[in-house]
Amino acid sequence: DGGITQSPKYLFRKEGQNVTLSCEQNLNHDAMYWYRQDPGQGLRLIYYSQIVNDFQKGDIAEGYSVSREKKESFPLTVTSAQKNPTAFYLCASSMMTGRGNQPQHFGDGTRLSIL
Amino acid sequence: GENVEQHPSTLSVQEGDSAVIKCTYSDSASNYFPWYKQELGKRPQLIIDIRSNVGEKKDQRIAVTLNKTAKHFSLHITETQPEDSAVYFCAAGGSQGNLIFGKGTKLSVKP
Residues with Cβ < 8 Å from A14, sequence gap 6 or more? A114, A115
Give the number of beta-carbon pairs within 8 Å between A and B: 57
In chain A, positions 3-22, which contact chain B (CB-CB < 8 Å)? none
Taken in order B30, B19, B111, B11, is the CA torsion positive or negative? Answer: positive
Sort out which chain A residues have CB atoms less than 8 A from B94's CB and list them.
Answer: 101
Start-to-end CA span in chain A (Å): 31
User: For the residues A96-105, what does the mean pLDDT come to?
Assistant: 81
d(CA A28, CA B24): 32
**CA A105 from chain center: how many Å?**
12
pLDDT tens digits, residue range A35-79?
999 987 789 999 999 999 999 999 999 999 999 999 999 999 999
Q: Minimal Cα distance from A30: which residue of B? A: B97
For residue A9, the SS3 value is coil
What is the arithmetic mean of pLDDT over B19-39?
Answer: 95
pLDDT at position A22 over 90? yes
Cβ atoms < 10 Å from Cβ of B7: 14
Q: Is residue B94 over pLDDT 80?
A: no
Q: What is the structure's pLDDT at A38?
A: 92
At residue A2 the predicted structure's pLDDT band, cuts being 50, 70 and 90, is: low
The alpha-carbon gap from A108 to the nearest alpha carbon of chain B, in Å, equals 5
Q: What digits encode the pLDDT tens for the residues A3-17?
A: 999 999 999 988 889
Q: Which residue of A has its CA nearest to B89?
A: A42
Q: Which residues of A touch B32 (CB under 8 A)?
A: 100-102
Query: Which phi and psi (to 5°) does residue B105 adopt?
Result: -130, 125
Residue A1 predicted with pLDDT over 70: no
Cβ–Cβ contact A42 with B under 8 A? yes
> What are the phi and psi torsion angles at B84 (to 5°)?
-80, -10
Identify whether the C-beta of residue B90 lies closer than 8 Å to the C-beta of residue B101.
Answer: yes
Q: Would the CB atoms of A40 and B103 count as touching at under 8 Å?
A: yes
Which residues of chain A does B23 touch, with a Cβ-Cβ cutoff of 8 Å? Answer: none
DSSP string, B38-99: E-TTS--EEEEEEETT-SEEEETTEEEEEETTTTEEEEEE-S--GGG-EEEEEEEE-TTS-E
Average pLDDT, chain B: 94
Q: Can you give the pLDDT at residue B24? A: 97
Check residue B98 and give its pLDDT.
Answer: 86
Secondary structure (3-state) at A38: strand
pLDDT of residue A56: 95
**Distance from C-alpha of A44 to C-alpha of A55, rounded to nearest angstrom:** 16
Neighbours of A113 (CB within 10 A): 11
Cβ atoms within 10 Å of A8's Cβ, excluding its own: 12
A74 at B interface, C-beta within 8 A = no
Mean pLDDT of A86-107: 89
